[in-house]
A and B are shown apart, each in its own frame.
Chain A
Amino acid sequence: DSGVTQTPKHLITATGQRVTLRCSPRSGDLSVYWYQQSLDQGLQFLIQYYNGEERAKGNILERFSAQQFPDLHSELNLSSLELGDSALYFCASSVGASGNTDTQYFGPGTRLTVL
């Protein structure tokens, strides 16, 4: 158990819909990262927040948005969903602001299926 929690575990929805994925970081961690993992794209970095502020941005679509709240939990919002958005979405957290020098602790993931 990494100490990072994600809800829901599974999510099935239809094209065109909007969903929200939630992540609670490990106690004491200030950074939250979001990743998308699909069979054909591997692990793709989406976005990082550090202490409430956007820190780094990856291949995040304009239909996707995220935020980190004062209690440090984070939400990833996916809108106008397409079939290709079906994937595992992981959240990770770390103590500091640097995603490649700090150890990232990953949650169990949310499996999104778009029908």
Chain B
Amino acid sequence: LAKTTQPISMDSYEGQEVNITCSHNNIATNDYITWYQQFPSQGPRFIIQGYKTKVTNEVASLFIPADRKSSTLSLPRVSLSDTAVYYCLVATMNTGFQKLVFGTGTRLLVSP
């Protein structure tokens, strides 16, 4: 079964740009890549979603290469409140049925 992998942790300083990559080499055709943010003791919260190339919203950008085997979440000018765990979510095909798979999660620590 395909694995969806991310770096375990990243450190940054306020005001810097942070890029978090997710590897998903068995993504189902025509399915989207979604990123979620999770604070301690809370449920994950939607950040951004895309299918290919680049998507941008008010909080982040998502870069997806043509082969779609990976994606990169970009957080511009992070602040202390961006300290959280970030997950990618994809759907993979396994024996003919779709399965939702969250990445392993990246713990981002933003320091002053």
A99 touches B102 (CB 8 A): no
CA distance A37 to B104 in the complex (A): 11
Interface size on B, residues (CB 8 A): 25
CA distance A33 to B89 in the complex (A): 14
Given A43-B87, A100-B31, A103-B49, check contact A92 B43 (CB 8 Å): yes
Among B42, B43, B104, B105, chain A packs the most CB atoms within 10 A around the CB of B43
A99 touches B91 (CB 8 A): yes
Contact residues in A for B103 (Cβ distance below 8 Å):
42
A100 touches B87 (CB 8 A): no
CA distance A35 to B31 in the complex (A): 20
B104 touches A42 (CB 8 A): yes
B100 touches A100 (CB 8 A): yes
Q: Which of A4, A56, A103, A104 contacts B99 (CB 8 A)?
A: A56
Contact residues in A for B46 (Cβ distance below 8 Å):
103-105
Nearest chain-B residue to A35 (Cβ)? B102
A57 touches B43 (CB 8 A): no
A100 touches B89 (CB 8 A): yes
CB neighbors of A among B62-112 (8 A) = 87, 89-91, 97-105
CA distance A43 to B49 in the complex (A): 18
B-contact 0/1 string along A1-31, CB 8 Å cutoff? 0101000000000000000000000000000
A49 located at the interface, meaning its Cβ lies under 8 Å from any Cβ of chain B in the complex: no
Given A42-B104, A101-B32, check contact A58 B45 (CB 8 Å): no
Contact residues in B for A107 (Cβ distance below 8 Å):
43
B interface vs A, CB < 8 Å? 31-34, 36, 41-46, 49, 87, 89-91, 97-105
A interface vs B, CB < 8 Å? 2, 4, 33, 35, 42-45, 48, 56-58, 90, 92, 99-101, 103-109
